[in-house]
Amino acid sequence: MTGGALGALGNAAITIAVAPGILSHEYAHVLACRLTGVEIRQRPSLALLESAATIEHDPVETFGQDFAIAVAPLVVNSLLALAAFFFATRLDPPVAFVPLWLGLTFGLTALPSHDDTASLVAGARTLSPGLRPVGYAIAVPVRAVSYSVFLAGIVALFWTGALLALVRPA
């Protein structure tokens, strides 16, 4: 097998393992598009043999739209992870495995991806001079975390652990 084929198989295995999180991540973008009035061109799919699942939507017109669409998975997947972890920590094994797995998939896929945040800093530049510092203050950290896959992975692990810790019974 070639390196490309092995990479594709690796992507397929990871995609299958975290499929619920990937789908909820992409559909969070869809929800944000609908809430901000941005038309969707193509619905998301899992893209088993590719490195990423994406949705296609019309260009955004405002920084607010761009930011909402970029960070929607953080909000939606974090809430889904909290709910799944809540049930996982209150059920007995082996039943608890299913909500625990779902919580992990939602938590690990909650952060915006590199592509999700690609236009945030440029969008902050378009804000009025009075709002531009605020735009940069929220766009730069989000972009910085998603810029490196390695850093994003580490942050995702800590984020998922923090979500689990929030619902762990005392």
What pLDDT shows up at residue 3?
A: 67
What pLDDT shows up at residue 51?
A: 59
Q: Is the pLDDT of residue 48 over 70?
A: no
Per-residue burial over 55-70, b if 16 or more Cβ lie within 10 Å, else e, is bebeebeebebbbbbb
pTM of the full structure: 0.90
Structure tokens at 169: 């019974």
The pLDDT of 76-94, averaged and rounded, is: 97
What pLDDT digit, counting tens, does each position of 16-42 carry?
A: 899 999 999 999 999 999 999 999 998
